[in-house]
Amino acid sequence: MRFPHRALGAVLRYHRAAPLQDRRPEPAPATEPHAAAILKSGVVDGMAYTLYADGSIEAKLPHGTVRFGSIAELRAHIESNS
């Protein structure tokens, strides 16, 4: 599709003249992350944990509570820090 020269000139003039912020789309409103349903909570070897439906797990570690993407990630973290 070919643009008439006048239309192309108008587009180029607009982009040169319009401040940058006028050309940026509005950012999406911040939303809270979707909370996954809790499958199970408990304590194993003195470590409290919460297992979520999305496969992630939150564990209370000596340095604070940390959420991992999977049980495998938690195991790897524990093994690398022991």
Q: Is the dihedral of CA 74, 77, 81, 82 positive or negative?
A: positive
Tell me, what DSSP letter sits at residue 40? E
- What CATH number has the domain bearing residue 62? 3.30.720
Total number of domains in the chain: 1
Strand order in the sheet with 47-52: 38-44, 47-52, 57-61, 64-68
Note whether residue 74 is domain-resident.
Answer: yes
Within a domain: residue 71?
yes
Assess if residue 31 is contained within a domain. no
pLDDT digits (tens, 9 = 90+) for 61-79: 999 999 999 999 999 998 9
So what's the pLDDT on residue 5? Answer: 46
67 in a domain, yes or no? Answer: yes
Dist CA 45 CA 63 (whole Å) = 16
Q: Is residue 66 part of a domain?
A: yes
* Rounded CA separation 49/35 (Å): 16
Average pLDDT over residues 15-25: 53
Domain annotation covers residue 72: yes
Could you list the residue range(s) of the whole structural domain that residue 15 is in? 5-26+36-80
Which one is predicted more confidently, 43 or 7?
A: 43
pLDDT computed for residue 3 by the predictor: 43
Please state whether the predicted TM-score (pTM) of the whole model is above 0.75.
Answer: no
What band does 9 get if pLDDT is binned at 50, 70 and 90?
low
